[in-house]
Structure 1
Amino acid sequence: MDEHTGGRGAVMGPEPEPDRGEPVVGRDAELARLFRVVDSVSADPVLMLVVGDVGTGKSTLLGHAVRRAEAGGARVLRAAGSESESSLAFSALHQLLRPVPAEVDGLPGRQRAALQDAFGKGPATSGPDLMLVGIAVLSLLSGLGDRHPVLVVLDDAQWCDRASLDALSFAARRLEGEPVTMLIGARGGDHLPGFDRHVPTLTLGPLDSAAADQLLDLQPKSPTGRTRSRILDQAGGNPLALVELARAASAPDTAVGSPSAGPLPLAEHLERIFAARLNGLPAATTRALLLLAAMDSADSAIAVPAGLPHAGDEIWPPAERAALVRRTGHDVRFRHPLVRSAVYHAASPGARREAHLALAEMLRDEPDRSAWHRAAACPHPDAAVSAELERSAGRARRRGGHAAAAQALQRAAELAPRREDSARLLVGAAAAAVFTGDIAWVEELVAAARTRTDDATLLASAAVQAGRLAVLTVRHPVVFSRLAGAAEELTVSQPAAALDLVAGAAVVRFYSGEDTQRHRIQDILRRLPANAPHADLRTWVRAVSDPFDDRDQLLALLPKLVAEAQDRPERLTAVGIMAWLLDETPQAVRAFDEAFDRWQVQGALPEGLGGAVAWAYTERGRWEQAREACARTTAVGRVAGLDHAVACAAAVDATLLALQGDPSTARTRAEEALTLIDPLESRSVGVYAHRALGAAAVAEGAYETAYGQLRMVFAADGTPVHYHASYPALADLAAAAVRCGRHEEAAAIVERSAAALAGHASPRLRALISRARGLLTDPREAEPHFRAALADPVLEYWPFERAQTLLDLAEWLRRRRRIAEARGPLTEALEIFRRLGARPWIERARAESRAAGLAVTDPAPDALAELSPQQQQIVRLAARGLTNREIGEKLFLSPRTVSSHLYRSFPKLGITARSQLRDLLEGTLVTAVQQEQGPPDAYVPDDPHAQTTALRESRSGHLGGLSRNLTRQTWTR
């Protein structure tokens, strides 16, 4: 087959044969667009999909792009998917990175270990952190880009394993500012996880009539007359079809189909043409072709030593003359995937089985490949092969290849002789498929399991697996109905499983905020036996579905739950979520800290209520850790296709961005959250997004807009839109109302909420209600409300809310001409805002301080105000001694991106060396505290601890034990 046809090269060998440079007929515009992408490799990151039907020329165009990039000095990494390896986790990534072993070895320890675990070279006792694998790929590509531009080419991506696609799509989203380009070739219409949204796509359609005629004219024996018309009609503009039909028409004793037979599907017709070329080949050649077709391995290092004839063997020339294969160096490759398909399907079932068995024996040192070949050779159930595949699934799962594990277990179930074993394996497959985020696949596996067994335990487990993923989707009404219905059926026979299901239903209830769901959950809990196992889970369900009902009783159970959860990170996380829901944020943060200290690998999916982690850190004033949690949830959610998890993280992140003084980016993130969910079905995320939009408007002084957004947190009649997420907005609603003349409406909402929470409100909510009342009441009666909002010492654990109230009190005192009294709250509020980096609030507090006669200066830390929130975050991590790679790991950025942010930040900070960062941030913070305390009659905290809290917390890290090597002198480390 000629290179200019647009067909794919062979599939065996470490790299496809380089394009010879023949003209590409009818693809001038497409090739020009592809060249523009490749030519930008040295300046801007580009990701492009090249999609089209079989034979439209994807691989040929990619080959030209490779030649163009290499001529420009780029480093090219190239891989191709293969059907037989699509079930082997990380096989495509391994093929892609095989040419750069030194760079893999040079990765930081954790990243290198994760990649080695993924490739099966490490112990992988608990499975690699899949996000760390993605970071390793990102770091590696970024490092290669330091030396020269990089072009990554992945062809036949529809056949690549899911784990590789996840890692590459993760890296692709974070290549901003990197000299790295990715070109992904795939068949049109195939779902490509991670690459199917908002990705620039070059679609290859049929050639037009003029180009089709031109291509036929270029063939060695150009067809004419009626034959030419039939070829043009049959090919439909497909380049490969045009060339192969022309070749077939010129062969002796060959006709291009029978007029009476009617048109055949193109792929089937082409396969028949290729299969016809097998006639007359020597038996040994035919057998070797069948082995090659059955293997279809991209790794010749395995194929040839295993027993496949080498490229110089006399077996291959007849196949080469028949235009079935191409020999390149030491490799033998099919000229097109359809050749492989034709050779394989032309063989008898018995011959195919023999070929797979022969390959299984050749590859006995590759147990996963061997297992799949034995499975392909099984015409009937076989317990031994099923067990072999089950072991292969275990290996894949330990390497983090959840899709590969699910595929192996699904095939093992098909081969299991006993229906009970088949059902068990299908449930296991569903459990593995949960981590792919593919809800349709999970439900298909669960449905198949139900047809194979009546075992109540297995069926309950199947329902739990389906529910585990379903709660992370946006289909709240449907998912809740399924979970609750299944739980009701199992309350007597399988109470433990029923409790698991109702726990999932409680998560959906939280997201949806639907009150009818609360009643159904309570009814299920009442129907469960009093002695049902996992009483702690029952408590958790109660807290999630209604945290204000029997709050005191739930609080009393917290210490016992914490004690029982020690050394069990997943249970500590659950306890932390429950504590956060009960407004016990300090307890929640401690639980999350302990859990993460013990649980380095946090799994491949977000927690059911993973947003609680980010919110708890936000409320506690640990905004850096909150943004890290958002980054991880966003990364995991996007890879798994879980829009709801991404929306949750976006809403928290938007709030933080607004509070840190980046209202434009905050609005973008909040609007992203709203586009990913239906606010009427996911009330929690909708409320959080509107709160973020309100905070962004406040940051800009647009109080009418802020009130409009915060008003949407409550229904028309003043009831909360969400039973938990709405209440913390009460004080902000009141503050916006005061500044836009909406006192009466806001006061009615506040009092209605106060009445609803009577006797059940947490100290935090009571303080927020008191602050709201102080803002909305007659100024002559406001002071007791502000004092009440500050009275409980525990409220210091919500520093931003406390600082807001201190500022409100100070403003009230100054307006009442009690200026000396106002200075103390002002100083404390400004100190807190500074520590948090709440830029809009710093400016407001500074303006109020000047009005109160405080000597407010412009200390050095104000240089941070010129940095974006992300730059501030990076600078603070660098000041703690983290390298660019370590910062990248925490924030899911490439080292180059981190370096670029630091490079732009240093001039704004007035420094030239990395070692100056800690002195800048810590030393000037002490100066700022002293300067902001003002003249002698200003307020000075009685407790020395209060003076140093900000300094100490700025030094502390989330996980502890972080390196503080301050000898690094440049931003590039």
Structure 2
Amino acid sequence: MTLSGGALVGRASEAARIRQFVRNPGEDGHVLVVTGSPGIGKSALVDSEVGEPAGTGVRVLRAEGSETERELAFAGLHQLLRPVLAQAPVLPRRQSDALLGAFGMSDTPDEPDQLILRIAVLGLLAHVARSRPVLIVVDDAQWLDQDTVDVLAFVARRLEGERIALLGLVRAGAPLPAFARSCPVLDLGPLDADAAGRLLDAQPRRPTGPLRARILQEAEGNPLALIEFARSDPGQAPWPVEPLPLADRLEQRFAARLAGLPGATRQALLLAATDPGAVSGVPPQVWRPAEQAGLIEVRDAVVRFCHPLIRSAVYHAAPPTQRRAAHRRCAAALREAPDRRAWHLAAAGTGPDESVAREMERTARQTGRRGGLVSAALALQRAAELTPDRRERARRLTLAARLAAPTGQTAWVEELTDRVRTLCDDPVLLAHAALCRGQALALTPRRAAAYPLLTRTARDLAPHDPGDALQALATAALICYYGGDAGQRDELRRDFFRLAAAIGPRPEPDLASLWILTATDPSADHAALLAGVRGLAALDTAGPELAAATATLAWLLDENALALGLFDTVGGSPAAPSPLPDGLRCVEGWVCLEYGRWARARAVAAASARAAAQSDPPYTAAAPPALDAAVLALRGETGPARAAARQALDLVAARENRFVTVRARWALGMAAWADGDHEDAYDQFRAMFTADGDEVHYHVSRYGLGDLAAAAARIGRRESARRIVARLAERTAGSSPRQRAQLARARALLADGEEAGQHFRAALDEPGAQERPFSHAQVQLEYGEWLRRRLRSGRARPLLAGALETFVRLGAEPWAARARAELRAAGIRQNTGGRDRLPALTPQQRQIVSLAARGLTNREIGERLQLSPRTVGSHLYRSFPKLGVTARSQLRDVIDGRRTAPGLFALVDAGAGEDSGDRPQQHPA
């Protein structure tokens, strides 16, 4: 549960709760119980916070329950008080005798009076606590002897005013001991995917490839299981129907618990460990001894092992012959589940078998169609193991590598392709294997080696398989895009045109060719590229993979509405598995960021981070924090934004991934702008361009052009920014409306005199403003400021009001505050109302308030948002004071007022400047 250096993994909030309890006992009571399943990390968590390091000033007294000592009276109490028993003489003689007599340390032959004994324990603890606070820690409290439990229950009820706290650790499912009832409970659940991955990667023997994924799956977030599975030596990774092995010491320990069970129960347990779906015919009485032994739980005829390690121990404690027999029984019982049946047939065999190999290949194809790439690749790898013919084995291994390449398991793909090279010398098959290897390496730190491998493979495959030749160049184009180097981009385009000439005409639509041309230069022949993308989007037969790929192309061409519509057709929540490779999962988030769906962008970033944590190596982890940083910066959460952006920069070197570097720099610049630090903002935006004024990244650097000009204008660096704008003007002018709007905005901010107004209007007139609301509102705000400073307040007010409406709707508070200030200076005051208060809510609170205003109950809202009714009620409780309401019935007025706002702005003293307006005006926002 800890990394090197003792740092806890994934328990920050729980650790803070323990710290708060230890430092301030009595705020929420003097007793706290920590519960959780075996191995979940209860002891590690408590030890990390109450290990009595120097300077804490707390005296820790410990006891640990033991199954073997449950029948020994006061065994736990003796363990607890032993360090301070020497101070017992300070107690009154009768109490001291009762206390020592309970432990057989007194000459008094009589049994101690129970009340006096309890008072003596409380008195001794109170005496010790006079010098410094006392913390009682009881581990495995469910196994304490009853006499100790009774004493602690007496003490726990009398701690008010004392400097004594009691921390009990209880196994989940066990009844709480008497001293722990009716007190706060901290329940430890499994580690999340990210924390589990970090803990696993911190082990001395770091698992990779499919084994890493298997451990994460079977451990179910249990820290002990993660550590023990990583510690064992599986040799060749077991197949999916074979549980992971344990270290010998653990296997022997569990085997001892199995030895006392009836034979029928042991056989049933082995069958359940092999496949829980194959035990439907086992009578309930057969399971009962295993339930009583705490090995399994049976609910509604479903058998579940009480701990991930128990299943492994049951399976591997059986001899190989019995395990193979169990697989045969499972195969016979699962005739209606052909995929699982094939796996069990493979596990039941003892050597090559072409008929079973064909079954496994069929299973792989079925699984691959459902999107289970890892499972399909494993099935093909198993099919290859069962294949007698060497060339056929190489073919199946190549197919396995192709399916494994997008999963992020690079070491696995390299292992598969290395085996292909040892099995055959067919140049076409070897070229296909090289393509798989290059695709796997494309999003790793070894992308520099992948690029020439892919371009060489494209040439090798062109005469034999033009489609895969283009796929090789398409992957090279992905490397080129994330690298962002214009020289490499030009080289790749030349390679593509040579290859396209050699291949000849391709069937339309040609996704690979369209991807290569778009990823290398979205601005070149923008109209033709966009027509091709729209042709792909119109295909009725497009599946989720093609829809996601087409959405990515639309994003590159700044067609956000089309991209978002395609992502919506893919369906599912951001947390669901994505049809995109892990390295491209954030594309949907960048689309949502520009489109104004910021909550969804953050959800995509979180899901992408979780997916990146599962990859090997987790190289794609740099993009999610860059995306999250961008959203946080625009919302004015500048501290977290900077932390996320710096995390992204730490995870990726600039030369390897200029895309993420430029995105992170932009987020840092927007955070600095939100804080009013225009010098730092300029420095960050300037870092998106080279010293000569070229783009650091040939595509995304252009999106910082307007913000660079804004910062330069604020700090008097116009000439420097003008040189960059002039250098990029020719490349940008013929591209997307978004890039043209950026260019016009930059020119407006850097222009002198009336020329600025022309450029502002050009920026506002570019089509697609609804696809980039924040950027459009920036231009409205800046044009409104420019007009007001020239005493044209009447023309400025609608622009400023429109900008404010957008900023408030998006939650971009720093920009909303600036728009309000400009409106006040333009002679507009804001009426107070619910509208001003809505930005104070979190995005989830705004969503809940909106649904509640429509009359939905907490349960109905929870079903829509996948929250519990209690959580919904908690959010509403915290939202009411922010909105200035006291009843649910008032929410409709708040929301309706936000939508229409008929009297939001009213003209006040505006002066008599040009176009200032002489009569009261109202501008709907």
SS at match of 1:614: helix
1:675 aligned residue: 650
* Residue number among 655, 659, 670 corresponding to 1:695 in the alignment: 670
Paired-residue identity, %: 39
Contact 2:377/2:400, CA 8 A, preserved across alignment: yes
User: Please, which of 906, 919, 922 is the counterpart of residue 880 of structure 2?
Assistant: 906
Q: Would you say 1:733 and 2:727 are equivalent positions?
A: no
Cα contact 1:733–1:746 (8 A) shared by 2: yes
Which of 205, 213, 234 does residue 189 from structure 1 map onto?
205
Deviations along 1:471-527, one digit per CA (max 9) or x if unpaired, are 444543233333333223212211101112222221221111022332342233221
**What TM-score, normalized to structure 2?**
0.66
Residues 489 and 898 of structure 1, relative CA distance in 2, 3 Å threshold: farther
Q: Which one-letter code corresponds to 2:834 in the other structure?
A: A
Q: CA deviation at 1:688?
A: 0.7
Q: Which runs of 5+ in 2 are unaligned?
A: 1-29, 46-64, 71-137, 150-167, 175-183, 233-245
Question: C-alpha separation between the residues in 2 aligned to 1:312 and 1:763?
Answer: 70
Per the alignment, in what secondary structure is the counterpart of residue 637 of structure 1? helix
RMSD between aligned alpha carbons? 5.6
Matches within 5 A, 1:13-32: none
Aligned to 1:753: 728
Which residue of the partner structure matches residue 632 of structure 2?
657
Which residue of the partner structure matches residue 297 of structure 1?
273
C-alpha separation in 2, matches of 1:327 and 1:734: 67
Q: State whether residues 273 and 314 of structure 2, in contact with CA within 8 Å, keep that contact through their aligned partners in structure 1.
A: no
Shift of 1:465: 4.6
Taking a change above 3 Å as real, the CA distance of residues 903 and 37 of structure 1, as seen in their structure-2 partners, is same
Residue 538 of structure 1 corresponds to 513
Match of 1:245 in 2: none
CA distance in 2, matches of 1:541, 1:767: 25
2:397 aligns with: 426
Aligned to 2:547: 572
2:693 maps to 718
Deviates more, 1:438-447 or 1:371-380: 371-380
Pairing 1:498–2:459 present: no
Aligned twin of 1:364: 332
Q: Give the alignment partner of residue 172 of structure 2, picking from 69, 76, 100.
A: 76
Residue 172 of structure 2: SS of its match in structure 1? strand
The answer to whether the aligner puts 1:798 opposite 2:772 as a matched pair is yes
> 1:186, 1:291 → 2: CA distance?
37
Whichever residue aligns with residue 797 of structure 2, its letter is R
Report the secondary structure of 2:691's partner residue: coil
Correspondence for 1:442: 413
Counterparts of 1:407 and 1:393 in 2: how far apart (Å)?
8
Read off the aligned partner of 1:365 and give its amino acid letter: A
Change (3 A) 1:910 1:807: same
Contact 2:862–2:869 (CA under 8 A) maintained in structure 1: yes
Go from structure 1 to structure 2 and tell me whether the alpha carbon gap of 1:858 and 1:700 turns closer, same or farther (over 3 Å shift).
Answer: farther
Amino acid at match of 1:774: A
Residue 407 of structure 1 corresponds to 378
Give the Cα separation in 1 of the matches to 2:383 and 2:416: 13
What is the CA–CA distance in structure 1 between the aligned matches of 2:794 and 2:674, rounded to whole Å?
Answer: 28
Aligned to 1:823: 797
The alpha-carbon deviation at position 716 of structure 1 amounts to 1.5
3-state SS in 2 of match to 1:845: helix
- TM-score normalised according to structure 1 size: 0.63
- With over 3 angstroms needed to count, the CA separation of the structure-2 counterparts of 1:288 and 1:559, relative to structure 1, is closer
Residues 738-758 of structure 1: per-residue CA shift (max 9 Å, x gap): 22232222222222221443x
Q: Mean Cα displacement is larger for which, 841-850 or 500-509?
A: 500-509
Change (3 A) 1:544 1:38: farther
Between the aligned partners of 1:485 and 1:880, the Cα distance in structure 2 is: 61
Structure 1 residue aligned with 2:814? 840
Counterpart check, 1:511 vs 2:482: yes
CA distance in 2, matches of 1:37, 1:644: 44
Flag the 1:905–1:370 CA change in 2: closer, same or farther, 3 A. Answer: same
Residue 364 of structure 1 aligns with an amino acid whose one-letter code is: A
- Aligned with 1:844: secondary structure? helix
Most deviating of 608-617 and 454-463: 454-463
**Counterparts of 1:73 and 1:49, CA distance in 2:** 8
Contact 1:666 1:692 in 2 (8 A): yes
Question: Cα offset for 1:375?
Answer: 3.5
- Distance in 1 (CA, whole Å) between partners of 2:457 and 2:563 is 31
Deviations 1:183-230 (A, max 9, x none): 999986353559799x99789999xxxxxxxxxxxxxxxxxxxxxxxx
Q: Shift of residue 933 of structure 1?
A: 7.7
3-state SS in 2 of match to 1:189: coil
Q: How does 1:262-301 map to 2 (within 5 A)?
A: 297=273
Q: 5+ unaligned residues in a row in structure 1: which ranges?
A: 1-35, 52-58, 79-146, 154-167, 175-181, 207-237, 239-265, 317-324, 951-973
Distance in 2, Cα, partners of 1:203 & 1:805: 55
In 2, are the aligned partners of 1:513 and 1:722 still within 8 Å (CA)?
yes
2:385 maps to amino acid:
E
Give the corresponding residue for 1:162.
none
Distance 2:711 2:603 in 1: 30
Distance in structure 2 (CA, Å) of the matches to 1:69 and 1:294: 29
* Larger RCO: 1 or 2 (CA < 8 Å, sep 6+): 1
Could you say if the C-alpha distance between residues 173 and 815 of structure 1 is closer, same or farther in structure 2, counting changes exceeding 3 Å?
Answer: farther
2:593 is the counterpart of 1:618: yes
Q: CA deviation at 1:410?
A: 2.0
- Cα distance, 1:591 vs. partner? 3.4
C-alpha contact (below 8 Å) 1:738/1:776 kept by paired residues:
yes
List aligned pairs for 1:879-894, cutoff 5 A: none
Cα pair distance change 1:312/1:563, threshold 3 Å: closer
State the secondary structure of the residue aligned to 2:332: coil
2:897 aligns to what? 923
**Is the 8 Å Cα contact of residues 823 and 939 (structure 1) preserved in structure 2?**
no
Which residue number corresponds to residue 602 of structure 2? 627
Report the 3-state secondary structure (helix = DSSP H, G, I; strand = E; otherwise coil) of the residue aligned with 1:739: helix
C-alpha contact (below 8 Å) 1:50/1:203 kept by paired residues: no
Partner of 1:92: none
1:643 offset after TM fit, Å? 4.3
Is residue 482 from structure 1 mapped to residue 453 from structure 2 by the alignment? yes
Relative to structure 1, is the Cα distance of residues 741 and 562 closer, same or farther in structure 2, using a 3 angstrom cutoff?
Answer: same
Is 1:169 aligned with 2:192?
A: yes
The answer on whether the counterparts of 1:579 and 1:587 sit within 8 Å (CA) in structure 2 is yes
Matched, 1:850 2:844: no
> Could you list the per-position Cα deviations for residues 718-755 of structure 1 after superposition, in whole angstroms to 9, with x for gaps in the alignment?
11111111111111111112222322222222222214
Once residues 669 and 365 of structure 1 are traced to their aligned partners in structure 2, the CA distance between those partners, rounded to angstroms, is 51
Q: SS of the residue aligned with 2:829?
A: coil
Look up the SS of the partner of 1:485 in the other structure: helix
Closer, same or farther: CA 267–169 of 1 in aligned 2, 3 Å:
closer
2:717 corresponds to which residue?
Answer: 742
SS of the residue corresponding to residue 641 of structure 2 reads helix
Question: Secondary structure in 2 aligned to 1:681?
Answer: coil
- Residue 901 to residue 462, structure 1, CA distance change in 2 (3 Å): farther
Aligned partners of 1:654 and 1:670 also within 8 Å = yes
Q: 1:225-260: per-residue Cα shift (whole Å, max 9, x none)?
A: xxxxxxxxxxxxx9xxxxxxxxxxxxxxxxxxxxxx
Q: Which amino acid aligns with 1:815?
A: R
Stretch of structure 1 that moved more, 769-778 or 390-399: 390-399
Q: CA deviation at 1:428?
A: 4.2
Name the CA distance, whole Å, in 2 between partners of 1:568 and 1:338: 39
Q: CA deviation at 1:357?
A: 3.6
In 1, the alpha carbon distance for the partners of 2:480 and 2:360 equals 39
The structure-2 alpha-carbon separation of the partners of 1:50 and 1:734, relative to structure 1 and needing over 3 Å to count, comes to: same
